[in-house]
Amino acid sequence: MFDALSERLGSIFDGLTGRGALSDKDVSEALREIRVALLEADVALPVVKDFVEKVRERAVGEEVIRSVKPGQQVIKIVYDALVDMLGSDEEENHLRVDTPPAVVMMAGLQGSGKTTTTGKIAKRLADRGKKKVLLASLDVRRPAAMEQLAILAKQAGETVSSLPIIPGQLPADIARRALQAAKIGGYDVLFLDTAGRTSIDEQMMSEAAEIAAIANPSEVLLVADALTGQDAVETARRFHERLPLTGLVLTRMDGDGRGGAALSMRAVTGLPIKFLGVGEKLDGLDAFDAKRVAGRILGQGDIISLVEKAAEHYDAEKAERMAAKLKKGEFDLEDLAEQLRQMQRMGGLGGIMGMMPGVRKAKEAMASSNIDDRVLKRQEAIISSMTRQERRKPALLNASRRKRIAAGAGVDVADVNKVLKMHQQMATMMKKMRTKGGMKNLMGMAQ
């Protein structure tokens, strides 16, 4: 699906990696080309803009790792931004069907592959999770759809069954009957395959909304045909307005569409992509993995892991250097800026704090001092408006210098003072902690 895009990006990257050094102009030119490539692949315009801006920001803020070429570093930045765009939270991409009987409601337009996908996911749960699965079709207008689901259930495995069809029953009543049957029959998962239409209509939406209210599903998946491009994105957006969707399945990823819909979907709807349909058969389903998709599009796996390793090494070296400085009781504003950058890289304060056990107190203290991620960015901007000399020797910062820095960073002098005060407090704290040893960065401090 991403062949054309992949080829375009490949040639842009070839141009970048061939060189030893990159000027701002080189990076801007590459970004312009990436922008065109994404638009040509039919990625939604706002998504492209966001993406390019993010890459630009990171490319500017990134420290140069000496052991890799700048072009390689840019590829890694593009890769990371692509993973973010596709949804980097792996947990979120998993299907939640833990408490039996877990209800999975399927929604989507007719022909999107909804019924087939229901069978595919059921087979997967039966094969890999040894789950007992019940399938129920609520498409009362199309008896053929009901029969299709019954056939799929048979093909999906021994532990997959379909709810017996009772002609003339209303969708809401079928849903209730299915819930009952799932409970009594000891099923782990119940799929409710709702009726689709060829286009979005009010009756379909209100029917689906009613089913969602009755069945209290743990997942409401929208199935969308990736080959329909931006129409699929628009469909998802409209469904999301009416239904408590929890995720997306993109079908026909085995076709040769331009791929833009698949790439825009997550960013436009905010919903995680859970599966990709990659064929007509029941095993034509892939669990969605943003890294794998991004890797396939960029096709630069070696470079990406090379940069990752180099960055790890580089961070470790930096931490060592920092530790050595602290041992000597030095902590200047450059060190503070580095700490702020590290905090941002780790997903901001929420990220770092969330990772550490037993830091409730520190977390509360941070929360009450109103430090959030925007503040981190502003503080970093303030420090970067200082000269190198000022960063190394904060004592130089008299009133007129502070005024200049505030103007440079677009903040008030009071904000500059706050940063200086924070630096002072931290330096003092670091000095005190020096005797305890083992402190490498802020993470250590909060432990």
DSSP state of 271: P
When asked if residue 286 is in the footprint of ligand GDP (CB under 6 A), the reply is: no
Residue 89 annotated in ligand binding: no
Residue 111 annotated in ligand binding: yes
β 102-108/189-193 pair status = parallel
CA 331/CA 334 separation, integer angstroms: 8
When asked if residue 272 is in the footprint of ligand GDP (CB under 6 A), the reply is: no
Give whichever of 6 and 110 is closer to ligand GDP, judged by the CB atom.
110
CA 136/CA 164 separation, integer angstroms: 8
Quick check: helix, strand or coil at residue 429?
helix
Contact 119, 282 (CB under 8 A): yes
Give whichever of 65 and 265 is closer to ligand GDP, judged by the CB atom.
265
Give whichever of 280 and 412 is closer to ligand GDP, judged by the CB atom.
280
When asked if residue 113 is in the footprint of ligand GDP (CB under 6 A), the reply is: yes
Contact 152, 122 (CB under 8 A): yes
CA 277/CA 414 separation, integer angstroms: 55
Quick check: helix, strand or coil at residue 105?
strand
Give whichever of 220 and 397 is closer to ligand GDP, judged by the CB atom.
220
The label of the residue with tokens 């796996």 reads 301
CB of 255 to ligand GDP, least distance (A): 6
CB of 275 to ligand GDP, least distance (A): 9
Task: For residue 134, give the nearest of 152, 111, 112, 110 by alpha carbon.
Answer: 152
Residue 108 annotated in ligand binding: yes
The label of the residue with tokens 């892991």 reads 305
The label of the residue with tokens 């083992």 reads 438
Task: Label residues 31-69 b or e (16+ Cβ within 10 Å = b).
Answer: bebbbebbeebbbbeebbeebbebbbebbeebeebeebb
β 133-137/189-193 pair status = parallel
Residue 194 annotated in ligand binding: yes
Site string for ligand GDP, 131-170 (x = CB under 6 A): ----------------------------------------
Give whichever of 111 and 329 is closer to ligand GDP, judged by the CB atom.
111
The total number of residues shown for the chain amounts to 447
Q: Which residue in 69, 76, 114, 124 binds ligand GDP (CB under 6 A)?
A: 114
Residue 109 annotated in ligand binding: yes
Q: Which residue in 70, 87, 108, 229 binds ligand GDP (CB under 6 A)?
A: 108
Q: Which span sits near ligand GDP by CB under 6 A: 112-120, 206-214, 408-416, 436-444? A: 112-120
Q: Which residue in 196, 247, 257, 272 binds ligand GDP (CB under 6 A)?
A: 196
Site string for ligand GDP, 251-270 (x = CB under 6 A): xx-xx---------------
Count interface residues toward ligand GDP (CB under 6 A). 18
Q: Which residue in 10, 100, 129, 279 binds ligand GDP (CB under 6 A)?
A: 279
When asked if residue 89 is in the footprint of ligand GDP (CB under 6 A), the reply is: no
Quick check: helix, strand or coil at residue 52?
helix
The label of the residue with tokens 């409401």 reads 220
Residue 253 annotated in ligand binding: yes
- Please list, in sequence order, all residues whose beta carbon lies within 8 angstroms of the beta carbon of residue 275, skipping any fewer than 6 positions away: 95, 117, 120, 121, 249, 250, 285, 286, 287, 288
The label of the residue with tokens 């979120």 reads 92
Task: For residue 116, give the nearest of 149, 141, 150, 165 by alpha carbon.
Answer: 149
Give whichever of 131 and 252 is closer to ligand GDP, judged by the CB atom.
252
Give whichever of 231 and 254 is closer to ligand GDP, judged by the CB atom.
254
Give whichever of 141 and 309 is closer to ligand GDP, judged by the CB atom.
141
When asked if residue 111 is in the footprint of ligand GDP (CB under 6 A), the reply is: yes
CB of 284 to ligand GDP, least distance (A): 5
Residue 195 annotated in ligand binding: yes
Q: Can you say which residues are annotated as belonging to the binding site for GTP?
A: 108-115, 193-197, 251-254
Applying CB under 6 A, the residues found at the interface with ligand GDP are 108, 110-116, 196, 251-252, 254-255, 277-280, 284
